[in-house]
Amino acid sequence: MRNFARGLALSLLLAICPALPVAAQEDVVEVPGTGEGISQDAARLAAMRNALERGAGVEISSHSKTQDFELIRDTIYARADGIITEYRILDEGDAAGGVKYCKILAKVRRSAIASTWGEVQNVLDQIGRPGIAVYIDERIDGVIQDSSILESQIENRLLEAGFKVYAGQHIRRIADKESPDAASEQNVAKVQAIAKDFGTQIFIMGTAQANSAGVRNLAGQDVIMYNGDGMIKMYYTDTGELLASESLANWRGGARGFHTISPQAGKKALENAGQELVERCYQSVMRRWTTRITAGGELVLEVEGMSVVDAIKLKKMLKNIDTVTAVNHSMTKEIATFHIRAKMTAETLAEHLVEDKFASIIELVDLKTNRIQAKKVGG
Give the up-direction half-sphere exposure of residue 183: CA atoms within 13 A in the CB hemisphere. 22
pLDDT < 70: residue spans in the chain: 1-25, 126-128, 175-186, 217-221, 250-262, 273, 291-297, 369, 379
pLDDT for 11 equals 44
3 state DSSP class of 203: strand
pLDDT for 327 equals 93
Sign of the torsion formed by the C-alpha atoms of 79, 298, 160 and 38: negative
CA separation for the pair 121, 110 (Å, rounded): 17
pLDDT for 315 equals 94
CA separation for the pair 91, 325 (Å, rounded): 41
Helices (H), ranges, the chain: 2-16, 40-61, 69-78, 80-83, 110-127, 149-161, 168-178, 180-184, 188-198, 263-295, 308-319, 346-353, 356-359
CA separation for the pair 139, 134 (Å, rounded): 16
Structure confidence by residue, pLDDT tens digits, 23-79: 444 788 899 999 998 788 888 988 998 999 888 888 888 888 888 888 888 888 887
pLDDT for 1 equals 46
Q: Looking at residue 130, what DSSP letter applies?
A: P
pLDDT for 352 equals 92
Domains of the chain are: 22-127 (3.10.28.20), 131-293 (3.40.50.10070), 297-376 (3.30.70)
